[in-house]
Chains A and B, each alone.
Chain A
Amino acid sequence: MNKTIDQPNITKRRLFKKNPNKIKETLSDRIIHAVSVTLLIFFVILIVFPLLNYFSLAFNNYAFNDKIILWPAKLDLAPIKYVFSANSKDFWRAFLNSVIITLIVTFVSNLVEAMAAYPLSKKNCPFRSGILMFFIITMLFSAGVVPIYLLMRSFNLLNTIWSIILISISNVTNLLFFKTFFENVPSEIQEAAIIDGASPLQMFFRIIMPMALPVFGSCCFFTIVGMWNGYGAALIFINSEATEAMPLAYYLYISLTNGQAATMYDDFLRNYLPNIQAASMLISIIPILIIYPYVIKYIKSGATLGSVKG
């Protein structure tokens, strides 16, 4: 690097800190800006405060529960230890159920939908619009809870995790996502692969899917979040006594409503009930926290994608 070049102009320009040609912000604009920033910060506080206030319970001694504001008033790991002890077998059973449900649905659903989207993305697919309509109709109209419930009943799948898995696999939104992506894959690549003798199956798994990995990732991510947190299907298919088939969010909901009854003869449980509940809630969101960096990436890419376009 040649450091001897002198740069009088640049240093001179730096003396002007403000661009003299810039239009000054009016007073009203500044007030509006201040108000909007304040509102946003208020919204952030509104989100962070209750969460910190609640999750502090997980690390707190029960006698000091009313002293908590933003962090534990008196550190006590007993609630966390209780969740990890043999007493919370049901909790971990539900945790395992949720893991199984989430993994199976995420893998199978996205693979199946991506496969279906591939031919539909091609102009020369026979009966393309008809098949597309066949999928979209299911988004527009559903017959309601009863037929699905009775169907699962006749399959003998009530009170098993399979009812939740099977009903969640069909996902037309992701199909449309994949279809839009595949439509934008350059046709030259596919033509080259065909000339090299690739069969449709090879083409899909060797060429299209590796290119679609980012889309596949974000679809998988949303499936994971939906399956981990949602329990609408569990509310329908799994009754409140079938603990062995509950997903985690549903188990937590049931244990909230039945929690009081279990504490009758146990002093430790009675005292620590809110703390133990908070601890199990905290542990239940750990998988989401692990993949949250992915959300941040997604948010940032979405936001910058906009600025590139503009």
Chain B
Amino acid sequence: MSDHDSHDHDGASRRHVLKCMTWAGAGVLWTIGGGVPRSLGIIGEAQAQSAGGLTFLQISDSHIGFDKPANPNASGTLGEAIAKVKALPQKPAFMIHTGDITHLSKPKEFDDADQIIGSSGLPVHYVPGEHDIIDEEVKLYRERYGKNAKGAGWYSFDQDGVHFVGLVNVVNLKAGGLGNLGEEQLAWLADDLKGKSASTPIVVFAHIPLWVVYEQWGWGTEDGGRALELLKKFGSVTVLNGHIHQVMQKVEGNVTFHTARSTAFPQPAPGTAPSPGPMKVPDDKLRSVLGIANVTFKRGDHRLATIVDSPLA
């Protein structure tokens, strides 16, 4: 972290991010204002800062079709999240969905998710979670969301000077291992980033955390370090993930890692339960542990992203 400490103003920003983002909320509001994402304590503050910048939303782990005690109505809570999105005074540019759209990859689950998420009226960029590829050939997911993507569904796009990369780390997993990107995808990523200047803010999103959050529960990506190596030269890298159904953030050098809440059910903090399975909380607490995230890149700043997690209630 010496690199971190040698840049005082950046360091302060990042500490600010950490302080504000951890355990803040249900959606993540991301502001990329200078290069590294920053989070603000409340959505209003982030919106005030985002004037003239780029704002997008992250939603994750909708698990449409899930009906177990941890949340018998996952469609209902996704609907509540989308209602909050529609009520935002300032319209985000788009949403990214970091996977587990459905619980069991059934056509009706995909249909229901599309209908609810589509009612936001926003473009949505998806990556699959392991629950979206249960049909093994990744056929249903790819037919709907991956037509213009490579391999199992990876792709990149640019918006307002920010380069976005959607990665897939839930296919061809090896016994005993973690999430996996694989050689083909890493080669594509190297090629995709080749021509980009080091000052281009990069947002990478994938389902399973790219860094190892908790190996015992498989919360990490086997070859995530190789992807990060390719991102080293960039001054502002934001890594957005889902999968663990809770907000977690880590800043390492120029890279900010962040995981968003689920809109369906919470999962326990690492090592605090016998397994990472769905966590039942009292009914009146459920909406405080579900949510979305809002990200803003402000112009003319350090191209930092501001991330705000907002709970459903």
Q: Do A and B come from one complex?
A: no
